[in-house]
Amino acid sequence: MKKTVKDVEWRGKRALVRCDFNVPLKEGRITDDTRITAAMPTIEYLVEHGAKVVLMSHLGRPEGEPKPEFSLKPVADRLSELLGKPVKFISSPVVVDDEVREAAASLGEGEVMLLENLRYRKEETKNGPEYARELASLGDVFVNDAFGTAHRAHASTAGCADYIPCVSGFLIEKEVKFLGQAVEDPERPFVAIMGGSKVGDKISVIENLLKKVDVLLIGGGMAYTFFKSQGYEIGKSILDEPNVDLAAELLQKADEMGVKLMLPVDTVCAKEFSNDAEAEVYFVDEIPEDMMGLDIGPETVKAYKAVLETAKTVVWNGPMGVFEMPKFAEGTKAIAEILSELDAVTVIGGGDSAAAVEQFGYADKMTHISTGGGASLEFLEGKVLPGIAVIEDK
């Protein structure tokens, strides 16, 4: 068990909080504040318990230079609105300077300030010790609440913990609880659904999950690489050619381990990668050579539904098809709907799956939606995430 903000007596202490405020901006305006609102429970807890709060985050890719279009000023404004009080913001090109140090030192209990974009400095992504020390000097306790960057060993996600004690915020606590429990101690049957385009991107995740799940359902573009490994023709469908043999090995490994690895039985095909293309359903051994598979078919949805309805824990990472196009979104939408009705722990592993669940209106029906695509994948691989490893144990 890792220490959280609840394990600290905050009154009078400065909390240096790493958040994930990497929000989409259009002409300087925030178009989606989900990541800001997700951090609010931790921030509000600290404010209520008398902490002096120093927030920090990156935004976009300024590549180690102070670029005004990547300033966190719009985030400070939104935070002020949400908190109902001013959030101090000093736009320093070096992030930490004398004015920033002075502002942090003079914060009162329950007051909040936000630093400028951490990636204005190259040392952030390189985990430069001097930069980590500068950041750590602004706080008494380091609170990591940015799961989306917890798989990166950066100055603000791991380096600060070399200088001041580290605890987790509520977001990371929730991620570790649900992802950790799903993988290490799931209620069974435990079913994992893996989608997305390439087998190569998810080899390690699949290998790790085969040791833990009862059933593994495959969908998305990667399914065609599995079909190819079985000798089927896949027409113009996406193929992860370097990993065809590996797909065959994974099928064999699943068989040897007594894990049911299920592939789609039918697929929605079209001649072009376009929402305007005419779509037809084919069984996987009948894909025409001039067509490409873009979604799982209705028979596959039925087969997967039968398995999922028996599950007590489900982890889903990666869409079942090109869900961004309405014509090829039905498979992904159907899986989201099935999960929304289950009496089971349903964990959505960030990235496209999270976007899909949100898009189809089922987000509030899931047990947990991860805030970090890459981080949740590495967690599912069984890797130790640097930003979580530095959090002190209870």
Q: What is the pLDDT of residue 227?
A: 97
Closest Cα to residue 126, out of 168, 158, 161, 167?
158
Q: Report the relative pairing of strands 25-26 and 29-30 from DSSP bridges.
A: antiparallel
Which residues lie below 8 Å from residue 156, measured CB to CB, with a gap of 6+? 18, 56, 58, 118, 124, 132, 135
Q: What is the pLDDT of residue 382?
A: 82
Burial class of residue 89 in the structure, from the number of CB atoms within 10 Å of its CB (0-12 exposed, 13-18 middle, 19+ buried): buried
* Encoded tokens for 186: 């799931």
Q: What is the pLDDT of residues 166-198, one digit of tens each?
A: 999 999 999 888 888 888 889 999 999 999 888
Domains and CATH numbers, the chain: 5-168 (3.40.50.1260), 176-381 (3.40.50.1260)
pLDDT band at 46 (very low <50, low <70, confident <90, very high): very high
- Is residue 350's pLDDT more than 80? no
Q: What is the pLDDT of residues 194-247, one digit of tens each?
A: 998 888 888 889 999 999 999 999 999 999 999 999 999 999 999 999 999 999
- Is residue 161's pLDDT more than 80? yes
- Is residue 373's pLDDT more than 80? no
Which residues are known catalytic residues?
A: 35, 198, 351, 374
Share above pLDDT 70 across residues of the chain, in percent, rounded to a whole number: 100
Reported as type and span, the H/E element at residue 26 is: strand 25-26
- Is residue 130's pLDDT more than 90? yes
Q: What is the pLDDT of residues 284-334, one digit of tens each?
A: 999 999 999 999 999 999 999 999 999 999 999 999 999 999 999 999 999
Q: What is the pLDDT of residue 183?
A: 83
Q: What is the pLDDT of residues 48-82, one digit of tens each?
A: 999 999 999 999 999 999 999 999 999 999 999 99
